[in-house]
Amino acid sequence: MTKKINVSKKTTERRDRILTITHERGTISVETLAEIIGVTTQTIRRDISQLCNEHLLRRKHGGVERFEWPLNAPYDQRVATNPSAKRAIAEAAAALIPDGSTIFISIGSTPTMVAEALKKNKRLTVMTNNLNAAMALSDESTNRVILPGGEIRLPDRDLIGDETAAFFENYRAEFGIFGVAGVADDGALLDFHASEVRIREKIRENCRTSLLVMDSTKLNRDAPAVGGSLFEIDQIIMDQNAGVELTPLLERVHDRLKLVGGNI
């Protein structure tokens, strides 16, 4: 079970920024982190101690380095995993979205499939950091597709980072569609990078109806960065494969859970 630690929003944001900077640079000194973030070295050392305890960073003489957690599978491999289940999830999500809607779409293979299922819709306004989703919806001339700035992360073909998180703060949407790397047994939502968590949470906070689309392999799957909870989501759309039992966790969200597929 993921251990919850009561910290302020300011502390959480600062530690997320430490993670992002360290992952971008590989290694960094305490002094440099303190200068970039604008706090004392003592504060940075306390943050580093906690992040190392959580196995998110590793100490290095005079500073810190990223903890080499196993990376997510390559994008093309993820697209090929459980394709029938993901298509069923995508069709169910797309059925909730009428023409003329304003939508956030996050990164990931399942949100991309939702975008592909939305090709028949018209007059959509889409804000996304997922280039695969953007391209899927760009053939319809009545759609408006808005992208953040920044560097494309290859081979995933997406954009993450502080600039992308700020992008989603500047818009409001009727629907926010996002995936997740994993769900802990206490309902905590997990991703592989702190930046991915921040962006997902900005999407959830700034939309009217949040839609989590995930296949059942994400239940109890580990990933290092944590943020948000299954119990904060408005609608969860997931496949029900043969042999996958509803856990007490899912039973607690049954009124917001839509199971699709069956023997997939």
Distance CA(119)–CA(149), nearest Å, equals: 24
Could you tell me the pLDDT band of residue 5, with boundaries at 50, 70 and 90? very low
Enter the pTM of the model.
0.71
Kindly tell me if the per-residue pLDDT of 147 is higher than 70.
yes
Tally of CB atoms within 10 A around 131: 19
Which domains does the chain show, CATH number per domain? 9-66 (1.10.10.10), 75-260 (3.40.50.1360)
CA distances from residue 36 to 32, 75, 137 in whole angstroms, order as listed:
6, 32, 38
Kindly tell me if the per-residue pLDDT of 193 is higher than 70.
yes
Kindly tell me if the per-residue pLDDT of 178 is higher than 90.
yes
Distance CA(52)–CA(151), nearest Å, equals: 28
At 200, the amino acid letter reads R
Kindly tell me if the per-residue pLDDT of 78 is higher than 60.
no
